[in-house]
Amino acid sequence: MRITIIGTGYVGLVTGVCLAEIGHKVFLHDINQEKIKLLKSKKIPIHENGLLKLFKKHLEAKNLRIESDPNEALQASNIYFICVGTPQLRNGKPNLRYLFDISNKIKDYIDKNKLNNNTFIVLKSTIPPGTTKELQTKIFKKDIYKNVYLGSNPEFLREGNAVYDFMNSERIVIGSESKEFIRTIKKLYSPLSKKSKIFITDPQSSELIKYGSNAFLATKISFINEMSKLSDKVGGNIDDVSQGIGMDKRIGNEFLNAGLGYGGSCFPKDTRGLAYTFSKNKIPSKIIQSVIDINNKQRKYFFNKILKRFSKQELKSKSVLFLGTAFKPNTDDIRESVGIYLINMISPMVKNILIFEPIAKENSINALSKLNNVRFQKTSISKIDYDCDFMIIATEYPEFIKIPHKNLKKLKDRVVFDGRNILNREKLEKNGIEYIGIGK
């Protein structure tokens, strides 16, 4: 089938490349000409496992085409995947401007060309419940645009694993009032139907599934983070607590790791978006707001552990080895990264911070350029310079677990603050290294 992807950000690019991989002819379009230029030069703007290889493969095989002209992009197919950004306004309300702009462009294109063949508009961008319906009633009025079919088809891609997730997802959710839309989009995904369950519902429910999934996972994280404070108080080990709770299949042990809290482009935005949606609908909701508040306070809780261990006076002369600024391992994304927040909090208190970040270094250098006591290590993990006073871990890179204790002993104070609970206290203490984790 021929498909046009509108918006080649993280979601659009992964979706387009993977749709080409499952046998479709895909046209990628973006209003950002810089991005188009980059894509045309066979490069991609993000770091994502396996994506570049597939992108090049399908460009060469001509299953993928980059379209800079909006009319040509719309002409290329009659299935439009809308993957434009829905950034947030101050009050948590998602900004749907780009979504409405492109919808109006599609409408103008249909009007101008007097099209009356079937057109499918697939909404992949994360949108508040009711948005698909709103587009239908405000732009594509059913009595005029009889052959324009709309539906919601949210993504559940984890950064760093997005290609794998697309190809192996547990569910593909399609929400539409139109049988024609469901039939067509189901057919489009049929190469994946052996691995993924295709779940059909109405658009509002589909939109709620997206918000609800992310908010529920964020709730698990905030729940265990709140428990970690109690575990600290009573002398428990939150890793064991999490493991023990998660052994109950009804709960499961994923997303129950206590630490610095969640970051990234989805959880923070979607929890705020859901909280906004509750308040807009005048439904009092405490859970989501608490999840957000706990998450925002978790880094302060960790920061206070540093202040408890070292006086403000002592900190002034300390150099800190800081590991990890990406919001999670194996991505160059630093959006709402707790590591970046922490560095901004710690920097004014200490002499200097020496950062090691394996993937997101370039983005982090830009984000922290205003801090003059921050430097980045230019090396690989095996050659990190440990000539600092103490260490902080802020991202759960698996390679940080394997750092030999003899290296940690080079830290002058021999203290490690583990913001992701990835190291083993007993083993470190046996080697004379002080360990400060969260809830253990």
**Which listed residue (109, 156, 164, 376) binds ligand UDX by CB under 6 A?**
156
Rounded (5°) CA angle 236-238-240: 90
**Quick one: which of 407, 351, 350, 353 has its CA closest to 384?**
407
Q: Return d(Cα 238, Cα 257) in angstroms, integer.
A: 8
Give 271 or 377: the residue with its C-beta nearer to ligand UDX.
271
Of the pair 275, 315, the CB lying nearest ligand UDX is at: 275
User: Which residue among 255, 278, 376, 386 contacts ligand UDX (CB under 6 A)?
Assistant: 255
- Name the minimum Å distance from CB 394 to ligand UDX: 9
Task: Give me the least distance between CB of 419 and ligand UDX, in Å please.
Answer: 10
Asked if residue 118 lies in contact with residue 149, where contact means CB atoms within 8 angstroms, the answer is yes
Least Å distance between CB 312 and ligand UDX?
Answer: 28
146 and 117 Cβ atoms separated by less than 8 Å: no
Output the residue with the shortest Cβ distance to ligand UDX: 266
- Both tokens of 144, joined, read 């005029």
What the block records as the tokens of 147 is 């052959």
Question: Which span sits near ligand UDX by CB under 6 A: 107-115, 150-158, 377-385, 431-439?
Answer: 150-158
Element (H, E) at 417: strand 415-418
Rule CB under 6 A: choose which of 84, 148, 157, 275 binds ligand UDX. Answer: 157
Count residues near ligand UDX (CB under 6 A): 20
Question: Can you read off the two tokens belonging to residue 202?
Answer: 């109405």
- Alpha-carbon distance of 389 to 373, in angstroms, equals 15
Single out the residue of 257, 271, 325, 363 in contact with ligand UDX (rule: CB under 6 A).
257
| The dihedral formed by the CA atoms of 279, 284, 288 and 293, expressed in degrees to the nearest 10 | 90
Give the residue, chosen from 110, 135, 256, 343, that forms a contact with ligand UDX under the rule CB under 6 A: 256
User: Does 173 contact ligand UDX by CB under 6 A?
Assistant: no
From residue 266 to residue 285, what is the string marking binding to ligand UDX with x (rule CB under 6 A)? xx------------------
Least distance between ligand UDX and beta carbon 225 (Å): 8
Identify the helix (H) or strand (E) that includes residue 211: helix 203-234
Closest to ligand UDX by CB, 291 or 368 = 291
Site for ligand UDX in 177-216 (CB under 6 A): 214
**Non-local CB neighbours of 345 within 8 Å, separated by 6+ positions:** 299, 300, 303
What span, in angstroms and rounded, lies between the C-alpha atoms of 236 and 226? 13
- Residue numbers at the binding site for ligand UDX (CB under 6 A): 155-159, 214, 217, 221, 255-257, 259, 261-264, 266-267, 327-328
